[in-house]
A and B are shown apart, each in its own frame.
Chain A
Amino acid sequence: MAPHFGLPEFGFLLRGMQWTVLLTLVAFVGGCTAGLAIALLRTCGHKGVEWFSRIYIGIFQGTPLLLQLFVVYYGLALTGLKLDAFVAVAIGFTVNASAFLGEIWRGAIQAVPLGQTEAAMALGLHYTSRMRDIVLPQAIRISLPATIGYLVQLIKGTSLAAIVGFIELARAGQIVSNQTFQPLLVFGVVGAMYFILCWPLSWWGSRMEARLALASQR
């Protein structure tokens, strides 16, 4: 007799959701750090370095996230390191996030008017101070809607960890669905749980985008 979808099953989904959130946070923080480096390399002014970071971004934007995850997952296994499944998928999502956030922030850095950089140079500020105190604070403001948009993408993307076998929300849904034979109910609930995570962020992002658009009209 198959169990029905009840509180214990819902509790299992909730624990899966915790892993989804944790995986997203780790990948986002890691991706922000590496992405900032990529964005700075991409705008540094050195032809070769810019070309390299451009290829890096192009590879991650031109291939499916699922395949990137496979390559990192099986590639890390080849190195002989005995890594936990969580660590392996977290690394996969982090490198993906670094490329996408790098490209978003590249655009934001270049959207800051050139006069700002020139004025900072005329004042004798060196590169670090120019970026840290003048360009980046303005670029971050410009990039916020797109960054939040990518965060939503990332939450949805972590569902692909289910395919390599890591138990997060989507995989937990598959397991419960196989136990209860109630796939529609289970995947409906799983979808609703993702929606609860993503929708407030989407709403916040589009509201901020509208506000920024108003500000730039003035």
Chain B
Amino acid sequence: MGYTLDFSVVWHAMPALLWGCAGTLGLALAGMTLAMIIGVAGVAARDSKAAWLRAVVIGFVEIVRNTPFLVQIFFLFFALPLVGLKLNPTVTAIIALGVNGGAYAIEIIRGGVQSIHKGQVEAGYALGLHKGQVFRFIVLKPALRAIYPSLTGQFIMLTLTSSICSAVSAYELTSVAQRIESDTFRSFEVYFSVTFLYLAISWLLMLSFALISHRFLSYPTR
């Protein structure tokens, strides 16, 4: 029995799929924001004087980086209600993405902060800059520039990882695709097309990050 490919179902479902893309981007953006908050707080705690706090952060990073995201999201899905947080799947997914991305963000941001030499800060004060200026021009901007490629790469990774959130039926592109698939039984056509929607999303993100970097972070260093 021959099988004829029929992509018209995908075309008919395009509006729903585009909303799914928006859902994916929203999920990734919210997750990344949470990840950055965890990242900055984690870096501060990672270099604190309290040994137990440092141990907690190191343990958190190692556990998150050495277990699959799927297991993490299942764990949170069942754990959050136990601590009294009855959340819808999409919010659970954002928390899971934030926790996962946060562990990677801690390592990335820490590398950026360590890349600023103490002498540069001292040189800034010697030139008569005040505290805010030193932070803005000598610490923040070069640190941002140093971690920008890894951080934006992490953002794209998080966007792709968010497809796994369909496992708890959060609202995003893959779960929209699964719904269309179960309505039409055109599994291959739907997933093949959705794969290219993801490719378009990551290319779009890469392009925008390159433009931002060109506009704000390109200046001569010597």
Contact = CB atoms under 8 A, between A and B. Distances in A.
B71 A71 contact: no
Contacts of A156: 66-69
Nearest to B70: A159
A67 B194 contact: yes
B198 A71 contact: no
> What DSSP secondary structure best describes chain A's contact surface?
helix
Q: How large is the interface on B (under 10, 10 to 19, 20 to 34, 35 or more residues)?
A: 35 or more
Contacts of B66: 152, 156, 194-195, 198-199, 202
B74 A71 contact: no
Contacts of B191: 67, 70-71, 74
B63 interface: yes
A80 to B, nearest CB: 8
A170 B163 contact: no
A174 B156 CA distance: 28
A65 B161 CA distance: 8
Nearest to A197: B66
A60 to B, nearest CB: 10
Interface residues of A, number: 37
A190 B71 contact: yes
Contacts of B37: none
Contacts of B70: 159-160, 162-163, 170
Given A64-B174, A160-B164, A78 B188 contact: yes
Contact of A170 (B3, B71, B188): B71
Interface stretch (B75-83, B114-122, B128-136): B75-83
A173 interface: yes
B65 interface: yes
B14 interface: no
B187 A157 contact: no
A121 interface: no
A183 B74 contact: yes
B13 interface: no
B75 A71 contact: no
A191 B77 CA distance: 14
Interface in A160-203: 160, 162-163, 170, 173-174, 177, 183-184, 187-188, 190-191, 194-195, 198-199, 202
A191 B64 CA distance: 9
A162 B167 CA distance: 10
A12 B71 CA distance: 17
A63 B200 CA distance: 9
Q: Select the residue from A67, A77, A78 with max chain B CB neighbours within 10 A.
A: A67
Given A170-B68, A195-B63, A202-B65, A63 B199 contact: yes
A64 B163 contact: yes
Contacts of A157: 68
Contacts of B69: 156, 159
A66 interface: yes
A74 B188 contact: yes
Interface in B37-96: 62-63, 65-72, 74-75, 77-79, 82
B167 A191 contact: no
Contact of B161 (A64, A75, A77, A162): A64
Contacts of A202: 62, 65-66
A71 B188 contact: yes
Interface of B: 3, 62-63, 65-72, 74-75, 77-79, 82, 156, 160-161, 163-164, 166-167, 174, 187-188, 191-192, 194-196, 198-199, 202-203
5 contacts: A80-B3, A163-B166, A183-B75, A187-B71, A187-B75
Which 10 pairs show the lowest CB-CB distances between chains A and B? Answer: A159-B68, A64-B163, A183-B78, A198-B66, A70-B191, A156-B68, A62-B202, A74-B187, A74-B188, A64-B160
Given A67-B191, A195-B67, 7 more contacts: A66-B163, A159-B70, A174-B74, A184-B78, A194-B68, A198-B67, A202-B65
